[in-house]
Amino acid sequence: MSVDKEDTMNAKDVNICWNKILKAIGLTSASESERKLVKAGVYVYGALNGTSRAGLYNGKITMANGTSFSASVIPIATGKYDIRRFFRGCADDSYEFFKSTGVMETYGKMVVKAEDLGIPARDAFAMADWLGGCQLMTISERNAHDKSFSYSITRAAHARQDQTLEQVEAHVVENSLAAQAAVGTKFDEGRKF
């Protein structure tokens, strides 16, 4: 028997998303090494910028071979509401990438943020917001993730004035509709029928 976990994308759908990302950046027949370069860039981008659906994804990802692509391919491939589910579906792969490369230790801001939270630089990668359920993490890495996650949730709640993301999004839609109605009303008032 197999049951999908709702907050984590299954392997089949993760693979579909990777193929969409590769197609969007023109690598439809990518070699295994090219796939690894793309994955590395996406994982690092997600770790540095977070994987919230509220993210802008307007940055540029430059791979180790110098080729660049827009981070906007991530939400296009996964769907806005499934970004973090996608990354959670890649938890083990991304964990192994971070552990084997130590790449997050080369990003000064990430290391400083980790150290500010009392997290050793070697565990900075564990602050990636999708790694919470990764079974491969050590106790130290899990503690690092939990500290970072708790700090991020508190900071986000304060920034949103203790509203949920859904409430904030609903207000944005309401304000947009109200603005459109006001514009439409002013425009219509000047029209003669």
Q: Could you please report the per-residue DSSP string of 36-57?
A: HHHHHHHHHHHHHH---TT---
**pLDDT range class, residue 32, cuts 50, 70, 90:** very high
| Beta carbons within 8 Å of 176's beta carbon, 6+ residues apart | none
Rounded distance between C-alpha atoms, residue 43 and residue 63, angstroms: 11
The pLDDT assigned to 99 comes to 97
- As a whole number of angstroms, the distance between CA 62 and CA 74 comes to 14
pLDDT tens column, 84-134: 999 999 999 999 999 999 999 999 999 999 999 999 999 999 999 999 999
Give residue 191's pLDDT.
42
- Say what angle helices 32-49 and 91-101 make with each other, to 10 degrees: 90
pLDDT of residue 4: 77
Dmax (CA) of the chain: 72
